[in-house]
Structure 1
Amino acid sequence: MSGRLEHLLLPLLLLVGGTPASGSASGQIRFSAAVDRTEVALDETVTLTLTVTGDAQISASNIVPPGTGTLEIVGTSTSESTSFSFSGGTQQFTRMVNFHYVLKPTRTGKTRIGAAVLKLGGKSWRSRPIDILVVKSSGRRRGAPQSPLQRRFPSWLDDDWNDLFHSPDMFPRRRIGPDDIFVRLTLKPDLAVEGQQLTATLRIYSRVGARVVSIRWPGLNDFFVVDRDVSKAVTEQQQINGRLYHTKVIDRRALFPLRSGELEMGAVEVDVDTSTSPFYPAQTMHLRTRPRRLTIMPLPGQDRPRDFHPANVGQFSMAAAVDATRVALNQPITFTLTIRGTGAIQRIRPPAMPRLGKFRIFDSTSKVEVSKRGALVRGSKQVETILVPLTSGQLTLPALTFSYYDPSRGSYRTLSTEPITLQVAASQEGTDGGSPLVSHEVNLVAGSFKPIRFESELSVRGMALVDRPFFWPLVALPPGLYLLVVLGLALRARGQADTTRNRMRQAWLLSRRHLRKAARLAAAGQAADFYAELKAALVRGFEARCSQPLHGLPLNEAARQLEEEGFAEQLVEAWRTEVENCDFGRFSPASSRGEQMQQSLARARKLFKTIERTRPGTEVRP
């Protein structure tokens, strides 16, 4: 079998530019073997690659192929690359040769690819054996399997190239199956309660080149959804069922169930462009995840605080502060309540400020900050409330409580702030030598009202726009430009239409262009180019007066065509004579004199004037 394989590899190596090695090896040689997969289905193929690295010339004659067990060789190929380096004024180069063997299983079970041997310069190198597991076919329709090399008795007509032409395609277009690329959606945690975050992570697994085109999520009406940033996700390698895949997170969302019970989640659809070879265009594949059914547990009713809201699920901390503790009477202060933690920060319900008889309370404003990185939703919600003390003395802001459910502990928790004591003075200055009180002038209605105008003058300032002289021309300008563009496009389409009239007009313009170029060449004394342009002008000129093309026809056939079109016999004969003169002048050195070129040019111009005033079927006027 090794002799048969060498007989196949030698012409293939010559075809890609390799030459047989001669002499002994110099330098360090490295020899290794690898396969693209260790588990293969019965209707698939596995590729064995033997790699030789060194500075010696390697050919197929130096390789003793390994035994392939129950695998049959159905294709071979060779690739070679060379790298150069310069050091200390000397040049060094390293050559790497890859011998590829496409192997097809013949039966299921375990088999072994034996050790390949490299023989070079009286030395030998051996590769390691590789175990392969052959499993049953998946049952899905795949591309037609590669047929093995045809077994024939040798003939005296055979040569080294015969097996090359009878071998299968060395680089067939591989059909991409469902096992080559797919997507998976993971939901964590597996068991959740109402309002608890479920992290939905979408991953793609691929053994081929792929580019994600679009991602379509199903309707998530039963969830509060927060998108997570996966732009920094990296590509990893993962082995599944004996196959190595490249995997990457392509999307991630945080889902907060809005109710308990059985929730349906449809399939996520992903469109990807895939490719297995740079020689074939990419094909678009439609991938889907499995639909999911989620069981969401209700929040426990036992020990539930009275002020608990179902949106307050997660892990939180709370703090309260004021911008000043010593203020003057009727001067506003800002009370800030901040809740930080993990959960649906946008939905949490902070505690409201209770009714305070000694304060005037304005509506609160809130600000939410949520980090987009990471799987968990983290952030803060800040609520600011303006309070204006209505009495002086020592006033106290009561403690506020915030109750939430902690899924990690499986219990309710209640947070409380400390009471805040304020010193409110009746004047702007402190008493008993104390520091002055803090005064914050806050205009609560700033920007809400415009200043009152006590006087107003209503009058017409200048001429109305429609009465100005430029108004109507300006109005008519856009439709006028549009009509001009439409008219220009129509004329252009008519001029470019593939009609007999247009073809004849284009041929006439082309003939005049050739004639002008011939005149310039005659003045420059370039005989060969002159006669070529003159002949082209004569052929194109007569094509413009008939309905049939003449370019490329033999001279006699073209003359007969002109006579059938109705041209006078003497005009056709004059045209034929001038065309023959052009052919003679292109290859005859004696005809390169300027006088003869000028005479030919004059006769051609006379013919052009004749056909300009002559219609097919009429006599030639002298």
Structure 2
Amino acid sequence: MRKLFPILFIILSAAALFADEPSIEVMIDQQTIAMNEEAQIIIKMDRKAEDITTPAANMFRLEGPYVSQSMNMMYANGQMSQTVEYEYKFILFPKTKGKFKIGAFTIKTGGKSYKTQPLEIKITAPSKQAGTTQNDPFSIMEKIFNHNQQKTPEIFLKLIPAKSGVFQGTPVIVDAVAFCTDPEILNSQFVETSTIRGDKYLIYDLTAFVSNNVSAPVTISGELYYPKIVKRYVLFPIETGSLVVVPPQIVAISPYGHLLLAADNIGIDSFKYSDKTGLSYIGTLSAKSALETNLADAGKRVTFTLEMEGNGNLKVLSNPLKNLSIPGLFIAQPQTSIGFKEWKGNSPIFVQKIVYSILALKPGKYEIPSILIDYFDTDMNPRQIELPGGTIDAAASKGVSAAKTVYTPKPLDGIADRSGNPLPPFVWIVFGLFGMSPFASFLYGRHKDKMSGDAGYSRRFLANKRLSKYLNDSRANLKQGNFKEFYLSLSKGLFYYITDKTGLPAGMAFRDILAELGKRGTPPQTLDELQKIYDTCNRNAFSGAADEKAVDETLEMAVRLFSKF
């Protein structure tokens, strides 16, 4: 086990005078190493370094920095405090024997540059014992976790569709497969930083229903790669032609650091089955219907439910009663939900539930006719399902009608007529204030009750305050040149402001939020701008790559979009 021997602590002279000066500590883990060994140089700071310039290296080679961050929390005298420490590690590989100095590292932070003092190291002849780890029980673990001494394995992402062409409205499975030369890396956590996109598709993410196993290796360009499905999607083309699919961006959180995986776009051909059919349902299908009750009072809601199950695009059949009109009967727009049920072979089975609210506007008997659903089976044969309708017998609403009474005021004896001598204005003002006080108290009390008991009301009321916090954070990070945190704050502000204002669940995927906003009448141009700015924020929050002009344009676009909600 290695022991760290700190040989130099750099405490900048200005730190004694200025509290905002950084604390910098530099150390080397071994003062003497063999030619076939390596040493670690570690720089510890209480703030993040903007840039580190390594010294000239003729007698050795430096690799790094490898960055890590730790947070320490302390609780003393009833107060909680925390400190953050940044560690920058460099690996030194010797080129020749001898005793020599390691020059100063130049560290830039807070807009200023600081230099460390030189270090010393002695290099001896190669050691015969170095590298003999066959009897070391921890050698396998060291191989995995001590990534600083290894070459990062080759890894890439590829979108693989199950078919290159399908009929419009039929499913195609698309897998995002990671290929890596080291199977251990494929056991890492994979995080999707930007989602798969295709505006000509209906897309479902079914990764949760896929086996999480590494497959047998394959040979690519003469090298052995291990494949693993990290994301699985089912796409339904809603238009015809050669349709583009933009892959997701995925980050593998591995012992070698955060590895960004990006794939190339792919195209899938979508064919129309018939010029006469348009967008039709194609696939297996079963359905059933149920009327809540046959008896109801006029004006009382009755639900009529349809349930469908199949492997096609059920969204095509989301409103079978849209052309139905029955005099005296009001049929509201349906509440529709679609969810994945199971895999049957390689075919995904979805379930759709459609709930209609029906109200009889006046007493009477109303007939809901049988419902005919036309579709094509998997062999492209035309099929039809007939679902029973139902009868609603609406009775007159029960209630008590109060007799109308005409009230005629009578004059009271002993009260003088003051119509010619009105009260002074200040008296009316006092009466008005006293009269409004109970009403104002009632409104405030109701507001407090709704804030504590109505989550939707509370979210809408506090949406602007929450947005202001994230915008202020974004501007502060922008002023400091911290682009990663700028984009992260702006992305959070955009997401939470839209969901708070519209009452949508904060757990929804952003593409589902856009789909719901489209249903609510949000213009397509606004939806495109929202998608563009959200993708920009997520992409740059990871990479940190940006220029001031692009950042200003992004912030300006975001503020403009916020005003539309």
TM-score normalised by the chain length of structure 1: 0.36
TM-score normalised by the chain length of structure 2: 0.39
Q: Which has the larger radius of gyration?
A: 1
